[in-house]
């Protein structure tokens, strides 16, 4: 392992699990040593268990790992989790109780009051909730979560505006990629040439997670951000990348150029700490009138940059704009990886 820390992936055969395998290949600090999925995959070589959907080759070393049972016994102490919420609510606490650092993608524990919900550029201070998390007090294990894949793009665009001008009201309408539903996800006959104006529990997650992420740490609790927030979520026939049309009312008056500058200048802890997965520019503004578009902008900053465009006055709230982010990278595996890198620098992985 040449001084790299061994990590495991729970739900390693799914879309997000595969993205972890891809992003962890050649990672300077972490190396995949353990993979688990359902009992359908258990005991198989990873190459035989997975239906590899990434556009890069399946790394040969990982291909030959055997899929382990989804139990903490024999697992490494750092676990990236990519499980459906119902399974995660049962398994993640079990791994934390056994002393593992669980870096989770699932919604199961995100809103629990002692579980940090973190985007390192936005609220790295919320990691302090770990000090009072029940598993950490008992076993040194813990759970940290990253947000829902549509909340993250929105919050990355809102954070610089909240810092500079304050936010009063947000309205967001999403156009979410099919890969957001996992594999095989939505049936092609349901989505081709179609828009589905419903994603189960998505609007509720976007609304409550946005307020927790932009909330304030007060002692051992997060006080949610005090603005009004409404989300409409739609599934569209796009492979990767969630696009969102956003209107926002600000507390302080702001001009077009000031807002664009707030986005382009936004830098935070991951950039200062030079975390390996941190993009140089977390939020970038595209000046072309018809951008961002998933086809051209989804891979900005290796999929870790949120691209904003089309800033213009809104006749109901103050301003409107479009934001795009990669749902399985910035919205899932990349978000968790950046959280794990932050945890390491903050000393929580020792």
Decide: 156 and 248 in contact? Cβ < 8 Å. Answer: no
Among positions 222-251, residues that touch ligand NAP (CB under 6 A) are none
The stretch near ligand NAP (CB under 6 A) out of 72-80, 83-91, 252-260, 337-345 is: 83-91
Among 328, 334, 340, 349, binds ligand NAP (CB under 6 A): 328
> Cα(100)–Cα(287) distance, rounded to whole angstroms?
45
Stretch that binds ligand NAP, among 71-79, 163-171, 192-200, 325-333 (CB under 6 A): 325-333
For residues 317 and 168, give the distance between their C-alpha atoms in angstroms, rounded to a whole number.
9
Which of the following is catalytic: 100, 126, 242, 326? Answer: 242
Tokens of 129: 């909730």
Q: Sketch the per residue contact string, 120 through 159, with ligand NAP: x for CB under 6 A, - otherwise.
A: -----------------------------x----------
> Is there binding between residue 38 and ligand NAP (CB under 6 A)?
yes
**Residue 331 within binding range of ligand NAP, rule CB under 6 A:** yes
Residue with tokens 């903490």: 72
Member of 106, 210, 305, 325 binding ligand NAP (CB under 6 A): 106
Nearer to ligand NAP by Cβ, of 180 and 301: the residue is 180
Q: Applying CB under 6 A, does 87 fall inside the site for ligand NAP?
A: yes
Residue 115, interface with ligand NAP (CB under 6 A)? no
* Identified catalytic residue from 149, 232, 233, 314: 149
- SS3 assignment, position 310: strand
42: tokens are 């258990």
Whether cis (ω within 30° of 0) applies to the bond prior to 13 is: no
For this structure, is 242 an active site residue? yes
Q: How far, CA to CA in Å, does 214 sit from each of 34, 208, 310, 342?
A: 34, 10, 23, 18
# residues contacting ligand NAP (CB under 6 A): 29
Looking at the chain, how many residues does it have?
350
- Local structure of 95: helix, strand or coil: helix
Interface map 57-76 toward ligand NAP (x if CB under 6 A): -------------x------
Does 41 help bind ligand NAP (rule: CB under 6 A)?
Answer: yes
Please give the Cα distance from 216 to 222 (Å, whole number): 5
Q: Is 277 in the site for ligand NAP (CB under 6 A)?
A: no
Smallest separation (angstroms) from ligand NAP to the CB of 44: 9
Q: Is 149 a catalytic residue?
A: yes
Please give the Cα distance from 67 to 215 (Å, whole number). Answer: 39
Question: Could you give the CA distance from residue 317 to residue 319 in angstroms, rounded to a whole number?
Answer: 6
Both tokens of residue 85? 């919420």
Q: Is the distance from CB of 342 to CB of 269 less than 8 angstroms?
A: yes
Binding site for ligand NAP (CB under 6 A): 11-17, 37-38, 40-41, 70, 82-85, 87-88, 105-106, 149, 179-180, 182-183, 327-328, 331-332
List, by residue number, the catalytic residues.
Answer: 149, 242
């Amino acid at each position: 392992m040449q001084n790299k820390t061994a990590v495991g992936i729970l739900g390693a055969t799914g879309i997000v699990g595969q993205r972890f395998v891809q992003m962890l290949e050649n990672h300077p600090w972490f190396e995949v040593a353990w993979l688990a999925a359902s009992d359908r995959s258990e005991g198989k070589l990873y190459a035989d268990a997975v239906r590899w959907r990434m556009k890069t080759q399946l790394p040969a070393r990982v291909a030959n790992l055997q899929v382990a049972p989804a139990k903490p016994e024999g697992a490494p102490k750092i676990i990236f989790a990519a499980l459906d919420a119902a399974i995660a609510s049962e398994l993640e606490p079990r791994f934390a109780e056994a002393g593992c650092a669980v870096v989770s993608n699932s919604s199961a524990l995100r809103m629990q009051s002692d579980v940090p919900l973190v985007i390192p550029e936005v609220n790295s201070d919320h990691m302090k909730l770990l000090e009072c998390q029940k598993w950490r007090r008992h076993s040194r294990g813990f759970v940290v979560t990253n947000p829902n894949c549509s909340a993250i793009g929105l919050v990355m665009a809102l954070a610089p505006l909240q810092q500079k001008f304050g936010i009063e009201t947000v309205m967001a309408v999403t156009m979410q990629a099919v890969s957001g539903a996992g594999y095989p996800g939505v049936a092609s006959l349901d989505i081709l040439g179609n828009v589905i104006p419903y994603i189960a529990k998505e609007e509720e997650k976007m609304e409550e997670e946005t307020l927790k992420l932009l909330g304030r740490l007060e002692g051992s609790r997060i006080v949610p951000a005090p603005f009004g927030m409404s989300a409409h979520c739609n599934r569209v026939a796009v492979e990767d990348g969630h696009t969102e049309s956003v209107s926002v009312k600000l507390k302080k008056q702001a001009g077009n150029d000031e807002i664009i500058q707030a986005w382009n200048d936004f830098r935070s802890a991951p950039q200062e700490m030079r975390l390996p997965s941190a993009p140089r520019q977390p939020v970038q503004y595209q000046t072309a009138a018809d951008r961002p578009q998933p086809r051209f902008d989804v891979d900005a900053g290796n999929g870790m940059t949120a691209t904003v465009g089309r800033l213009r006055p809104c006749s109901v709230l103050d301003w409107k704009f479009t934001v795009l982010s990669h749902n399985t990278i910035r919205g899932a595996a990349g978000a968790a990886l950046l959280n794990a890198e932050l945890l390491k620098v903050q000393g929580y992985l020792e």
